Amino acid sequence: MAPGGNRGWLLRLVIAFSFAQGAVSMARPAVSYRALALGADERAVGVIAGVYALLPLFAAVPLGRRTDRGRCAPLLPAGVVLISGGCALSGVAGSLWTMALWSGVMGLGHLCFVIGAQSLVARQSAPHEQDRNFGHFTIGASLGQLIGPVAAGALIGGSDMARSSALALLVAGAGGAAALTSLWRIERPGARASRAERAERVPVRGILRARGVPAGILISLAVLSATDILTAYLPVVGEHRGIDPAVVGLLLSLRAAATIACRLVLTPLLRLLGRTVLLTVTCLLAALLCAGVALPVPVWALALILAVLGFCLGVGQPLSMTTVVQAAPAGARSTALALRLTGNRLGQVAAPAAAGLIAGVAGVAAPFVMLGALLFLSAGVALRAPSASTEDPADTRTSTGTRPRRRTAR
């Protein structure tokens, strides 16, 4: 099967990612509520949440190295098992330290799944298909992020918070396990790294020096930080402005829906503008819109801002994947994607901490100004990043050099 010749594998991957991401998005607030019910204070909840992001940092590069030397698909069921197990065992944990442990297991499972899935998309997509396929792949994440918190909110509540949050975690574990039903024959037979790529072991420093890799990592970090801080601090802004929590929930759902819409039309946007211009413009617009959230605008204007912001933020993640994959050495693409995920995890830890410090000094709207500055920086980086042959599919079809052949999925 030629790369991109049968997209059934991509649809199954999107479905599996929806279930896996939905389980994680449902479990993370449920873990916090259950920890509070077990007597945790705000600091303990922060530590438990931090373990989810910090523990996988040590495993990202080794997992990327392993994937570069072999197949991608085995990481997917392994990740699903760890996600489902971490969710379910968090629901029956009786102490805070065991909850922290299972939260870390959940984070490790998510890392395994995402590294395997991103490497699979990179390897099984022809060069001119990578932007589109990464865009479709990330629809799975957006669907999970849209449905998971809603499902958690529907189950958690009442007088017995410990019991309802435990139920939500068990349901999340079952939902995550459903991803296994979509993982059959998801990697074509014999699809593994070539002998030349397995022999080439590029040091991490060499990967980070490849022109385009740092840009992709920074853009991804900025976009993910914006999404996380929007989710965490929009309720605080709503509380200060007297916006009902149900309305805040709808605003966040609107943002997620706009992100999905963006990824559905990513291909025509790329044909119209090209990757460099599209990344630069959307990061710049997102910077202005993030700063706009800090303004005391009416709810309808805030909804409009968040809808356009969600659309702009939908571009950064899939295109940063392609940027990293095509800039990295041929034998280190999975490791480069793992480094990108490492940057994401660091951003998930550092950005909320920085936002909390800024909010404590300058007010709850200040973190959005900080996000605007970070996205403005990423726009400048995107403008300077090397353009790739995939911006014009015709280029990859007519080029006779070695570069397109080297980039062809194995």
* CB-based burial label for 13 (10 Å; 0-12, 13-18, 19+): buried
Please report the pLDDT score of residue 210 as a whole number.
Answer: 79
CATH superfamily for domain 1-181: MFS general substrate transporter like domains (1.20.1250.20)
Nearest to 227 by CA among 309, 107, 282, 308: 309
| pLDDT higher at 384 or 320 | 320
Share of the chain above pLDDT 70, in %: 85
Asked if residue 117 lies in contact with residue 14, where contact means CB atoms within 8 angstroms, the answer is no
Residue 362's identity, in one-letter code, is A
Same CATH topology for 1-181 and 204-394? Answer: yes
Residue 187: pLDDT band (50, 70, 90) is low
Structure tokens at 29: 């607030």
In this prediction the pTM is 0.76
| CA gap 391, 306 in Å, rounded | 28
* pLDDT tens readout for residues 32-54: 888 888 887 767 777 787 788 77
Domain ranges of the chain: 1-181, 204-394
Please report the pLDDT score of residue 326 as a whole number.
Answer: 81
Alpha-carbon distances of 235 from 110, 190, 250, 313, rounded to whole Å? 26, 49, 11, 19
| CA gap 177, 409 in Å, rounded | 29
Q: In the CATH scheme, what architecture does the domain 204-394 have?
A: Up-down Bundle (1.20)
Please report the pLDDT score of residue 241 as a whole number.
Answer: 83
Please report the pLDDT score of residue 390 as a whole number.
Answer: 40
* CB-based burial label for 12 (10 Å; 0-12, 13-18, 19+): middle
* pLDDT tens readout for residues 171-183: 999 999 999 998 8
